A and B are shown apart, each in its own frame.
Chain A
Amino acid sequence: MLVAGIKSRPVYGGLSVDPNARRHLFALEGEGALALTEEAARSGADFLKNADILYVASGSRAADHDKALTALGADTFWLSPTVPVLLNRLNVMLGQAKMGTRLYVAVTEGFIGQAMQVALNHGIDHASIRCEHRGSAARRVQCVHCKGVTDNVTTSPYVCTHCGLSLLVRDHYSRRIGAFQGVNIDAEEPGTAPQPEELFP
């Protein structure tokens, strides 16, 4: 049922450090910490003296990734309690950022989408943001009918948490909204929605 292979579906190139950047700004969530610690092990830790790390543990608090990030000794490290708080800080930092700053984002698609939205509002070209996606394939989805966004959608169809319609999750993705598109699956014969299938574990 998944409408796949759509060209607006983002492709994430991975979190490789840009040696030419003068400042490195990392917005990381959960397992995204590993993307950075592994890259530091690979490329050397030199860049960290010019790096700011914003981190939110989300679902992987127990793994103590924040300790590993602290141990990297970046110029600044900041642990955020929640995603919205991190995004707010990211917004302020981008407002003060200087020419030559490179933004890196990891790890769930929903988080990447939201961080990218913040960046786009500062006029940053989406293609210049280095992203890495790991772990859960859960999606952030916008209901095309009521426009309500639901985070961490793992099934298709899913029930819109705002208007209650049963929605097919398409691969069509909007960077501006930071979400995939959900379309009513049983519009033509109401009441015939199939059972949800776990497509984005």
Chain B
Amino acid sequence: MNINFRNETFRDDYTFRNSPETIRRFPFPFHEDKYMYSVNMEPHVPAGPAGHAYNNPIDVDEHYVAEMRDRALVLKEDPLRYQALPHMMAAQWDTLELLMESQAAAYPEHFSLTKDGDRWHWVNRPLGIDQTFTFGDASTLPMEPLEFITRQAQGDFCIVDQRDGNLWMDAGMVTTQADWSLDFDVGMNFFEWHGPVPLAHEIGVFERALKFLLNLQQGKPVRRLNWTMTINPRLDTSPENYHKWGPDRATVTPENVGDKVHLRCELQSLWRLPRSNAILFVIRCYLIKMEELVTIPKWGRRFHRVLRDLPPELIDYKGLTRYRPATVEWLSKFDDGKPTTPGIYPD
């Protein structure tokens, strides 16, 4: 499958768009007409109609090259977005192996990996990278293995160490986040880094999720979808830069909702790593404009209902307060009140 990589931006002039095919493969995060937190995890196995974001374990799409360019820009401004505590080196190699093998297996036209014992040869054609290195010897790569490979893979990546019956955020590459700081959260345990999330602690979501994840098995990754909303297709909605993107939230008008307001979906996948016994937590961000979303009638109806009926705590936590009314009003034109089919896929 040859992907036609778009030349686009996620800042300044915001030329990001989804092609009609990419709209149809969007991992729409609502399986019913309402939303509340849950431990909505399922096996991360290939699923969905042909071309869907669930087809491959590590998804590469038409935004790949532009997203990697945006990541490089973020890192230039703020190197603290990449961090790895010293005891995480084995897990870094685990991650490099997983991402190289997954991308090469699913997209052989674009990536290839050949191994001669510990001597590995990696070719990334879209980004023009050709690297021979010794697996396990960090001095044979131009940077740490986790940084090297996550500059070539879409999504944010956190590696969590498992000890004392808890999970610890001990390494990561985070440049496309929904308003949380890796620099601040590095070294925290599962409950601590989720500390700011409202309601979910009280209904026991995190206890159950942690119990589940501590037993995650190698070769059996799991996934869940999470979501928020972003004004303009900006990948870097970090707290570090909140004072730069925050004002965008006040720019939504009834006329520009369709173009400016984006549903931001996170396809989160979790993988037990073989050498380190750590867990790789992939947080892959997908953006879709309201005017793109409503081209799928089921999604237009459903998202209108979800957003209209959202609990107040979630409206506040997700930062939707200013522009939710205008967005609900705009979406209402696409909701004829008809019932929707179960599940996340287009009809």
Contacts and interface: CB of A to CB of B under 8 A. Distances in A.
B322 A188 contact: yes
A145 B242 contact: yes
A144 B247 contact: no
B185 to A, nearest CB: 7
Interface stretch (B152-160, B194-202, B257-265): B194-202
Interface residues of B, number: 25
B183 interface: yes
A165 B196 contact: no
A7 interface: yes
Do most interface residues of chain A lie in helix, strand or loop, or is the interface mixed? loop
Nearest to B319: A188
Contacts of B183: 147
A7 B241 CA distance: 24
Interface string A139-153: 000101101000000
A114 interface: no
B133 interface: no
A145 B242 CA distance: 8
B195 A144 contact: no
B193 interface: yes
Contacts of A173: 192, 195
Nearest to A189: B250
A145 B243 contact: yes
B243 A187 contact: yes
Given A7-B201, A8-B188, A181-B184, A187 B195 contact: no
Given A6-B195, A7-B201, A173-B192, 5 more contacts: A144-B239, A145-B240, A172-B184, A172-B195, A188-B247
Interface of A: 3, 6-9, 120, 142, 144-145, 147, 165, 170-177, 181, 183-184, 187-190
Interface of B: 80, 181, 183-188, 191-196, 201, 239-243, 246-247, 249-250, 322
